[in-house]
Homo-oligomer: A and B are copies of this chain.
Amino acid sequence: MSAQGETRRAPLDRARVLAAAVAAADRSGLDALSMRSLAAELGVVPMALYKHVADKDDLVGGMVDTVIAGYDPADAVGGPAEVRARIRSARAGLLAHPWLRTAIESRTRRTPAVLAHMDAVAGAFLRGGYSADLTHHAMHALGHRIWGFSPEAFEEPPAEPPSPAEREAMLRTMAERFPHITAIAMDTAARTPSGTCEPEGEFDFTLDLLLDAFERLHAAGWTSSA
């Protein structure tokens, strides 16, 4: 009564575990992802996961790896255009998986897909004729942006709007104690349609700014020894 009784669950493997973890994190965030909850979701006891994953760190590393491995393979045209394409692909991944930023930030091991993405971006610069020296510096300058990051520290979660009176008071003290950022915020509020920051616009702006700067250095025959 083994093969026919209750339909026997196909045995787990690493890929299934990682896929389930990604799905769970997509639904409820990385904090809510525990070995126990993941195991429950897979209809398995927590310790069973450890047959497929060394520990939780390995699990998260694997999740990051699988997502990154799914990035679009861009045409190897070389130069800024290819870099842009690859980075935009990374950014799409980041937007699709809100937990990915935190997960990447905590990574310390370079898994194959991570190395592959870095290699692809570096390759784009090199194929575009950039020197190894300049490419190296460009990669550092792009920094986390090669993973599609935009800076999100100190982003306040959406709060329920305060009463008009409170809002007025807060605005006044802000203007008094932090006049410059208040001025900037007022400026954007007045000038842009949405009235707030537009992350995608800012991301593209910065990416273009950097790629332009690289192009200029490349054209000038820049070397780091200068």
Contact = CB atoms under 8 A, between A and B. Distances in A.
> Max chain B CB contacts within 10 Å: which of A107, A143, A210?
A143
Contacts of A179: 119, 123
Given A108-B155, A153-B144, A133 B187 contact: yes
Given A136-B187, A202-B140, A115 B181 contact: yes
Contacts of A137: 202, 205-206
A102 B107 CA distance: 12
B140 A144 contact: no
A96 interface: no
Interface string A112-126: 101110111011001
B109 A141 contact: no
B118 A181 contact: yes
A210 to B, nearest CB: 7
Given A143-B150, A205-B141, A180 B133 contact: no
7 contacts: A116-B177, A118-B178, A119-B179, A122-B184, A123-B179, A136-B184, A143-B150
